[in-house]
Amino acid sequence: MTNIRKAVATVAATALVATPLTLLTATPAAAADREFRYAGAKVELDVEKDDGRFEIDVDIDDAKPGSKWRVVLRHNGRVYHKRVHTADREGDVDIDKERPDLRGQDTFRFKIKRIGGPKAAVRVIKRR
């Protein structure tokens, strides 16, 4: 009977340890800060802080290949990226930027407009 109790205790302990690990691995590692559809494309905006700097990632997916997109990025009101990008053969545009961590709360403003498309989409992300 002692062996049965040990076996039950071992199984119970394993289940208690495995459950939180399963929940941790089941969640997505890092979801985008903002994800939305605009002008027929899927837009993802992500701001992550790493080693005292911000990594900014803008992805436009499923756009019409060859379509042109004006992207304006601001950090605390100052423009640091203003350019027209052309979607590649797969209809993707990828923009990766880095910005310093300024004193206080940092505000990132994204303005995306398809040339010849609907009104521009604007999103704001605030980070400490």
Give percent of the chain with pLDDT exceeding 90.
63
Residue extents of the structural domains in the chain = 34-127
Least confident of 7-21, 61-75, 96-110: 7-21
CATH class of 34-127: mainly beta
Q: How far is CA 22 from CA 9, 16, 28, in A?
A: 20, 11, 12
* CA-based nearest residue to 48, from 30, 65, 35, 61: 30
What is the per-residue pLDDT for 9? 63
How much is the mean pLDDT over the chain?
A: 83
Q: What is the pTM of this model?
A: 0.72
pLDDT digits (tens, 9 = 90+) for 9-65: 665 655 555 544 444 433 333 456 789 999 999 999 999 998 889 999 999 999 999
Q: Is the pLDDT reported for residue 100 higher than 50?
A: yes
* CA-based nearest residue to 127, from 93, 103, 95: 103
Using pLDDT thresholds of 50, 70 and 90, give the confidence band for residue 79. Answer: very high
